[in-house]
Chain A
């Protein structure tokens, strides 16, 4: 008889414990849900307001559009020459990232494999260059490329190649050290030349860090504003970001033309959102690896 009350206390404490845990768990989801709503709210404004006219945007910015109209989106598509600028942005990003991947991977590999005093000096120079902010070199760079006749899209690609190089060499350098040399020696004995050796044996082994290099560089180049602004400016070969900027500047002299800005922003971010939703596994993995490696 004396045991019974004790038992029930223990039992009550136990259910209390689980109840508490459940409440805590539910609270986590409530908080997460609220933050998710907060995170998505600006994107909700973006989508709904892209379908409204200026008057309705100002009068009722939070509501669902009363008469959803795609005319503003179509108008913005023409205004920012969407398909042309999308093509330009895609080409610049694709070629620049390709250049960075090939040059930095092969460079980092030979830096590790032929370890001399020179290789150490060169590697240190690459690492030290990561400390230089873009502002410190932009004016001489533009002037220099202008005298070379490269103040254009081609020059832009080379500039991105140069800027992406330091970090990419650094990332590859750390990773190549983990690749066993024995595999390469087997390849050499089998008579591979240096390019066969690198592209068929080494590069496939580096694929996980290649993902990181591609992700980090593409995200930056695709969304970059300053370098295209300085190099291309207001010419006909503008990137998406530049088109958006100039559309805003030209239309915004007399207040804010929200009925143009919202759809223009919406169509410039749609491609990247689609890419993200498809490749998010790799993107998140790439960023995690990049953060841990550096």
Chain B
């Protein structure tokens, strides 16, 4: 209709401007910069060893990428992030679904439990990271799991001072924080399943396990898609909790922190290399989340 047509560009202009200035332009520049000897405030000319007079002089091809892959810290962060994501996605999903099943079973007080489980989500990763750092360093180490404590479990002591243990410490923290969020999504999914299916199943004499496997799980597929998407991308991009818990000490840097700290590791700060890592990070995040959405969506459709 003409009425709307006339107003199409004027009304879209603010969005397009914001989008262009904040996302599109920096993204394109970022990809370009990953091929340049970029030092943050200026472009470096590797031939003359001084500030480049034009951008072509600063062009280094895939050198930044080669440097990134030759950097032990980057490779370690990459592997560590993948390991963390694998464990975190499974654990957070289990916790979220478990909480949702329990809360929907409760008839009275369900709202109260839901509030309590969701509460940690409202708080920032940094603040929570500091509290959990205390729990791992003092409460776990000196009280609960020390030789004189409740139960002597060496693995649960000094969790922030070892790269493997710290990975599980991060998982514990994030399961505690995000479990409630995923629970909310699963509860919505569970409430959408018609009671009729369960009635039919109980008339047929299905066991609770069978009912869960053959009705609840397939009907929850749309929720799985959303929760997997959220946990995958959250885990891959995790930063605040990583900083608060170990600050990357003991080889515990995840990729997001590695990109942030690369400019501090190098002098003068090598923004070109940091940007190359960021582009690799983008390709990884985009391809993994797209594949995941594609696969789980396909499973939804098959039903």
Contact = CB atoms under 8 A, between A and B. Distances in A.
- Same assembly: yes
A45 B99 CA distance: 23
Interface stretch (A1-9, A67-75, A269-277): A269-277
B203 interface: no
B184 A287 contact: yes
Contacts of B58: none
Interface string B101-142: 011011001000111111111111111101111110111000
Given A36-B117, A45-B131, A107-B11, A131 B286 contact: yes
A210 B30 CA distance: 32
A248 B130 contact: yes
A139 B239 contact: no
Interface string B19-48: 101111111011001000000110000000
A287 B185 contact: yes
Contacts of B230: 291
Interface of A is mostly: helix
Interface in A254-294: 256, 258, 261-262, 265, 268-269, 272-273, 275-277, 280, 283-284, 287-288, 291-292, 294
B15 A163 contact: no
A109 B230 CA distance: 26
A86 interface: no
A172 B254 CA distance: 34
A13 interface: no
Contact of B41 (A114, A143, A248, A280): A143
B7 interface: yes
A137 B26 contact: yes
A140 B22 contact: no
A32 B116 CA distance: 10
A161 B117 contact: no
A248 B243 CA distance: 12
B51 interface: no
A106 B24 CA distance: 20
A62 B139 contact: yes
A39 interface: yes
Given A32-B102, A223-B125, A226-B260, A165 B18 contact: yes
Contact of A223 (B12, B124, B143, B185): B124
A162 B18 contact: yes
A61 B131 CA distance: 12
Q: Is the interface of B mostly helix, strand, loop or mixed?
A: helix
Contacts of B99: 35
B113 A32 contact: yes
B19 A165 contact: yes
Contacts of B240: 223, 225-226
B281 A135 contact: yes
A45 B134 contact: yes
Contacts of B114: 284
B125 A225 contact: yes
A139 B271 contact: yes
B278 A141 contact: no
A290 to B, nearest CB: 9
Contact of A139 (B119, B139, B222, B275): B275
Interface in A130-188: 131-141, 143-144, 158-159, 161-163, 165-166, 169, 188
Given A103-B15, A141-B22, A219 B122 contact: yes
Given A28-B105, A140-B26, A288-B184, A241 B126 contact: yes
Contacts of B8: 110, 114, 116, 118-119
Nearest to B12: A107
Nearest 10 Cβ contacts at the A-B interface: A162-B22, A223-B124, A107-B15, A141-B26, A136-B282, A140-B26, A140-B29, A137-B26, A131-B286, A110-B11
21 contacts: A32-B106, A36-B117, A61-B134, A111-B12, A113-B4, A118-B8, A136-B278, A137-B26, A137-B278, A140-B275, A141-B26, A144-B26, A161-B22, A165-B18, A165-B19, A165-B23, A223-B127, A261-B130, A269-B124, A284-B184, A294-B226
Interface of B: 1, 3-5, 7-8, 11-12, 14-16, 18-19, 21-27, 29-30, 33, 40-41, 99, 102-103, 105-106, 109, 113-128, 130-135, 137-139, 143, 176, 180-181, 184-185, 187-188, 222-223, 226, 230, 236-237, 239-240, 243, 255-256, 259-260, 263, 271, 274-275, 278-279, 281-282, 285-286, 289-290
Given A125-B24, A131-B289, A291-B226, 9 more contacts: A111-B12, A131-B282, A143-B40, A158-B22, A261-B134, A268-B124, A273-B119, A284-B114, A287-B185
